Amino acid sequence: MTVTVPFVNGTSYSTLTAFSKDSFQEAVKFYKNLLALDQRTADDTSALLSNGPISIKLTLKEDAALHADAMKARSHLLDPSISDDWRAKAPTSLVFNTMDITEVMNRFRALILPIQAFPNDINPLLLYTVDPLGNVIGVTATKNAISTKPCVPASLLAEEQQKMKHELASKAVSYTDLSSQFTKTTNAYPSLPTKTNASKADKAIAVMTSGGDAQGMNSNVRAIVRSAIFKGCRAFVVMEGYEGLVRGGPEYIKEVCWEDVRGWSTEGGTNIGTARCLEFRQREGRLLGAQHLIEAGVDALIVCGGDGSLTGADLFRSEWPSLIDELLKTNRISQEQYTRYQHLNICGTVGSIDNDMSTTDATIGAYSALDRICTAVDYVEATANSHSRAFVVEVMGRNCGWLALLAGIATSADYIFIPENPPVPGKWQDGMCEIISQHRSHGKRTSIIIIAEGAIDTELNPIKPEDVHKVLCDRLKLDTRITTLGHVQRGGTAVAYDRILATLQGVEAVNAVLESTADTPSPLIAINENKITRKPLIDSVALTKSVADAIQAKDFEKAMSLRDTEFIEHFDNYMAINNADNGIPKLPADKRLKIAIVNVGAPAGGINSAVYSMATYCMSQGHKPYAIYNGFSGLVRHESVRSLEWKDIIGWQSRGGSEIGTNRVTPEEADIGMVAYYFQKYQFDGLIIVGGFEAFVSLNQLERGRDCYSAFRIPMVLIPATLSNNVPGTEYSLGSDTALNALMQYCDVVKQSAASTRGRVFVVDVQGGNSGYLATTAALAVGAQASYVPEEGISLPQLSQDIKMLGESFKEAKGRGRFGKIILKSTNASKALSAKQLADVISAEADGAFDAKVAIPGHVQQGGLPSPIDRTRATRLAVRAVSFIESRQDVMKASRAADEEFDVDDKDVFETAAVLGVKGSHVVFTPIRQVYDNETDTDKRMPKIIHWQKTRDIADHLVGRKKVNVK
């Protein structure tokens, strides 16, 4: 098996000895399959396996006694009755490095190998197995998990290999060539890869947008075009959707270059146009499309659109063999063209504001449309409050109520109408009026009703805003207004999430078409939680259409079940928190709890949303919610504990900052004994901490204090909330999306100023402490020319290269809009260079070709109102946190009862103090002890694994930034 990018690297050269022919052959097969190594040389007694950075030499020395000893040692390691750590039992081990340990885990499992994972199977840092010779083999996702020596640059590998030729790599020796993980680039601008693969060099990839437009489509097109060029392919755009395919010619199927898509991320709509095409629905239209693609030399097509557009794309591919047969028979293409374009690879990325595609959590444009809705509702609620009015807000969503549902959660709407859960005719009026009357009687001055444009009752009769308006006016005598948002929801530029989602999906789409074969089903690029995934396009489309079919068949239970699990979870959450004040608890009296919530750390968007959702969900369940005001210092100094009442938290869901106050003081700093005293006084049954790294440390202190203080023997959960997104145990923190949007909007404005001045670069100072997450993701969202982060620092060679690239970029720029340049610098990226000093250096080294100014957004980055993502995720995480506390009560009650026998190290006990986070495609609870001890760099206040590193590489690649390996 030949690989161009090493599957693993690390230990440079090792010689292993087998003592029997069978074990020798098994070992050769083992290392070839496990590590994807090439067999360079081989004879009866030796074999050299290598992928470039690492080499393994296997030798055969037949000796029955030594073979027996080796097999005995191997059997001892694999004895299922002994659960010892293999690292403690083996005198030596081979250790390799990888950028994707999940892929390694999957390979281990596919080969049915014994595995030991550390610290756990869900998010391992280290994986171990045993080879056929009895050696322990390790793979780590850290840069160097075992050695204290620095990484060895590629240029020194050969020298190091010579030193190691006669050594068996041990636990103390492990080298990593990080340069092997980056695409090799030339010195030309932009920094493109050398064309080494002839077939890829000739590959032509086209992208088109089809159906309704959606914010983020331009980001998707930009990413596809530049990724295709970056990988040595020709890039094309198809203008005006399928209509462009049918019309054909260079006017509609255009080859584009790197500079053609500069700045597209900041623009709304789709610059290559979109249209619905009746001709393409007919075979003759698809025949013309095939002919025009072949004439243009295109052999792969990426379609960004909704389910109708993607259905057409998959049909196009399935018909392709018959289409080109017909084109050849009618002499519309040559035999050479027929042979060259036997197969058409197609991939789909979903652009739709309705978020109606099954198998993906989000579609491109959906969160931008939701942002427009929430902004509009926030505005109308202000005037509604002034006049004590009701507003009926109609939003888009023909067969999907996602926009209405999420907007209902994000704005605390009183009532929503969605097609998946239609009311009974003649009864929805009573239900709506009852809830609104109830809310009004408890002191609420506003009433917001959100209705999807596809809202129906169970008899499929449409429910219109006018119908709702009439009921509110006639029955409740409310001063009611109707607001129909219409195409405003499609307008404006994309929010940060959609820019990043569209970009990452565009990059993955190019990878997918390059890896596809004639037998590969057309893929759909999806996202599940925080992970970009590939799904079969035709299955996703069929599942999506089945929802509409179920609705038409009046099988609404099936329609709801066919939505993704996150949709169902959001719906259940909305129903629970919206009925919080009805006075009918869901749980019996003996199951009701006292649950406290406290904010620790700096303010972050979504904190108030988490408090509001926790409190209202507790009320609906029958629990008593308490707020600890002003953190642990407020508790110790002022006994600042207050029960939360429904009328007191009206409007908190959409407020920024922290209504209950927050600071960075941990329990030990405040006086952990007094914290325990007040916990005991109020008899808390559970605790939810919302905050950043200080909150993370606080949870660890409380969990460790259980041995001395029985008051802490309750379930405790941390909901990470910090713009830095530096809390270990999660890839997402509340507030990071709000901060990212605030920074993105700031950069867009500054970039416009730079474009107006021409010849100017702005160096933007970015918050985030020792975390480069905010700078990295913002760089991807705004197309920054470079970003400097604490994880990498600022080296003079890299800075010199970036200044050179900026000069070349200004030379290539054409048109005023392409002169604006942005560089992002994390405040802690360099101790020597502040943002101002960095701008001065750039100006001095530019030698008059351009100049640099500094821009410092400061606390603007904390954001104003929380973004819809932070609001809705806060609700989701808060409800899960309460459910976690409910489910762990029996364990902790038993531990409190047996005070003298309490075992703080009992697995069931320490798992009741956990970090609630998103890891890949899962939402997980990870015990704080496990995360703190194994996954945390406490000195840097950072997780050991930097989960956004791949995003960083993509951001650099898409602006043509050349990375310099510093020796």
Domain 742-864+951-958 part of CATH 3.40.50.740:
no
User: Does the annotation flag 267 for ligand binding?
Assistant: no
Instruction: Let me know if the fold of 9-181 is the same as that of 579-734+866-934.
Output: no
Question: Residue 843's Cα: distance from chain center in Å?
Answer: 36
For residue 818, what pLDDT is reported? 59
Which amino acid belongs to residue 742?
A
Check whether 174 has a pLDDT greater than 90: no
Average pLDDT over residues 157-170: 36
CATH fold label, 9-181: 2,3-Dihydroxybiphenyl 1,2-Dioxygenase; domain 1 (3.10.180)
Max distance between CA atoms of the chain, in angstroms, equals 96
pLDDT band at residue 964 using 50, 70 and 90 as cut-offs? confident
Question: Does residue 620 or residue 173 have the better pLDDT?
Answer: 620
User: Does the annotation flag 364 for ligand binding?
Assistant: no
Q: 389-405 pLDDT, tens per residue?
A: 999 999 998 889 999 99
Question: Does residue 472 or residue 123 have the better pLDDT?
Answer: 472
User: Does the annotation flag 836 for ligand binding?
Assistant: no
User: Does the annotation flag 664 for ligand binding?
Assistant: yes
Question: Edge-to-edge, what's the strand order for the sheet holding 55-60?
Answer: 13-18, 55-60, 46-50, 38-42
Average pLDDT over residues 704-721: 95
Q: 60-70 pLDDT, tens per residue?
A: 999 998 999 88
Q: 613-661 pLDDT, tens per residue?
A: 999 999 999 999 999 999 999 999 999 999 999 999 999 999 999 999 9
Separation CA 857–CA 151 (nearest Å): 36
Average pLDDT over residues 845-868: 93
- Which parts of 43-97 fold into alpha helices (H)? 64-77, 86-89
Check whether 201 has a pLDDT greater than 90: no
User: Does the annotation flag 768 for ligand binding?
Assistant: yes
Q: Between the CA of residue 139 and those of 31, 182, 439, 930, what are the distances in Å? A: 13, 19, 57, 20
Separation CA 216–CA 759 (nearest Å): 28
Quick one: 366-490 is in which CATH superfamily? Phosphofructokinase domain (3.40.50.460)
pLDDT band at residue 900 using 50, 70 and 90 as cut-offs? low
Check whether 832 has a pLDDT greater than 80: yes
Question: Does residue 427 or residue 174 have the better pLDDT?
Answer: 427
Check whether 118 has a pLDDT greater than 60: yes
User: Does the annotation flag 488 for ligand binding?
Assistant: yes
Separation CA 562–CA 543 (nearest Å): 7
User: Does the annotation flag 354 for ligand binding?
Assistant: yes
The domain spans of the chain are: 9-181, 203-362+495-544, 366-490, 579-734+866-934, 742-864+951-958
What are the structure tokens assigned to 225, written together? 């075009």
Percent of the chain with pLDDT over 70: 90
pLDDT band at residue 514 using 50, 70 and 90 as cut-offs? very high
Neighbours of 833 (CB within 10 A): 18
For residue 279, what pLDDT is reported? 93
pTM: 0.82
Check whether 847 has a pLDDT greater than 70: yes
Q: 754-771 pLDDT, tens per residue?
A: 888 778 999 999 999 999
CATH architecture for segment(s) 203-362+495-544: 3-Layer(aba) Sandwich (3.40)
Question: Does residue 939 or residue 109 have the better pLDDT?
Answer: 939
The CATH number of 579-734+866-934, from 3.40.50.450, 3.40.50.10860, 3.40.50.300, 2.40.50.180, is 3.40.50.450
Average pLDDT over residues 495-513: 96
Residues 6+ apart with CB under 8 A from 721: 599, 601, 604, 606, 607, 610, 690, 691, 692, 695, 733, 734, 735
Q: Between the CA of residue 848 and those of 614, 694, 759, 821, 851, what are the distances in Å? A: 57, 46, 9, 16, 7
Q: Which helix (H) or strand (E) holds 917?
A: strand 913-919
Average pLDDT over residues 101-112: 79
Catalytic annotation, pick one of 131, 177, 299, 354:
354
Task: Give the range among 184-198, 257-271, 487-501, 759-773 with minimum mean pLDDT.
Answer: 184-198
**DSSP code, position 182:** S
Check whether 513 has a pLDDT greater than 50: yes
Separation CA 881–CA 879 (nearest Å): 5
Is 498 an active-site residue? no
For residue 124, what pLDDT is reported? 77
> Following DSSP, what letter does each residue of 806-844 receive, concatenated?
HHHHHHH--SGGG-EEEEEEEGGG-SS--HHHHHHHHHH
